Structure 1
Amino acid sequence: MANNNIGSKRLVVGAHYGLRDWLAQRATAVVMALYTIILLVCFFTSTNFSYQGWAALFSHQWFRIATFVTLMALFFHAWIGVRDALMDYVKPVAVRLVLQVATILWLVGCAGYAAQILWRI
């Protein structure tokens, strides 16, 4: 009798990240799209396109929080993409680990710098 790997007795292997990562990237993309719409509405309804106009826009706490949440979504979106690319194309585990840690450190640094910029205005 032949080995039949089709159906309910099929051997499933792998990390099973696919659906979770796909949903996370779609959710972060929705957050970024909503922020883009908010930013476009603010841009098209504003008449003051100077530094003072942008500073006034970012002086609202809700806008700073929305910007920071969007940046966190962007960083998480980037992390998923970079991690998946590294898992697919970098086969030596040590090299992949170093690149993943470097990516995490870079993204955490970007998040800290973004917070510093947003709350310095």
Structure 2
Amino acid sequence: MSTNNIGPKRLVVGAHYGLKEWIIQRITAVVMVVFTIVLLVAYLISGGASYEAWAGLFSNQLMKLLTFLTFLSLFYHAWIGIRDIWMDYIKPVGIRLTLQTLTVLWLVACAAYAAEILWKV
């Protein structure tokens, strides 16, 4: 009996591949939009962009946490996009793995630097 690869009894491999990443990118985008709106409202309420106003805004631990959450969302959002670019356009596995590793290291370093900056203020 031959295998039938057409119709409802076919073997489906990789179904819904990428759906989780698509949803995560939408969630991280919403987090970034909400943060942008919060920042815009804070700017409009404070009436200016002086150093004192921004330092006062970021002296609040909740604002630091929200900002860091936004940075983490940005970095994860970027990881999904860059990873997909590497997977689509870099065919040699060794080069692709190297680029993915360098990308992860760069994004983790950026997250550490963002945390350092936020909690120095």
Structure 2 length-normalised TM: 0.92
Point out the more displaced range, 15-24 or 98-107. Answer: 15-24
Q: Please list every run of at least 4 consecutive aligned residues from structure 1 whose deviation after the TM superposition is greater than 6 angstroms.
A: none
Separation (CA, whole Å) in 1 of partners of 2:33 and 2:112: 22
Aligned residues: 121
Letter in 2 for 1:88: D
Equivalent in the alignment of 2:68: 68
Equivalent in the alignment of 1:10: 10
Point out the more displaced range, 6-15 or 92-101. Answer: 6-15
How far apart are residue 93 of structure 1 and its match?
0.3
Separation (CA, whole Å) in 1 of partners of 2:91 and 2:14: 15
Identity of aligned pairs, percent? 60
Equivalent in the alignment of 1:112: 112
Q: Secondary structure at the match of 1:119?
A: helix
Point out the more displaced range, 16-25 or 77-86. Answer: 16-25
Q: How does 1:39-58 map to 2 (within 5 A)?
A: 39-58=39-58
Separation (CA, whole Å) in 2 of partners of 1:40 and 1:6: 53
Separation (CA, whole Å) in 2 of partners of 1:101 and 1:39: 33
Consecutive unaligned residues in structure 1, runs of 5 or more:
none
Point out the more displaced range, 5-14 or 54-63. Answer: 5-14
Letter in 2 for 1:31: V
Q: Secondary structure at the match of 2:11?
A: coil
How far apart are residue 8 of structure 1 and its match?
1.8
User: Deviation per CA, 1:9-34, whole angstroms, max 9, x where unpaired?
Assistant: 12323485311110010010011111
User: Deviation per CA, 1:58-102, whole angstroms, max 9, x where unpaired?
Assistant: 000000000000000000000000111111111000000000000
How far apart are residue 48 of structure 1 and its match?
4.0
Structure 1 length-normalised TM: 0.92
Separation (CA, whole Å) in 2 of partners of 1:16 and 1:86: 20
User: Deviation per CA, 1:19-54, whole angstroms, max 9, x where unpaired?
Assistant: 111001001001111101101110111124211111
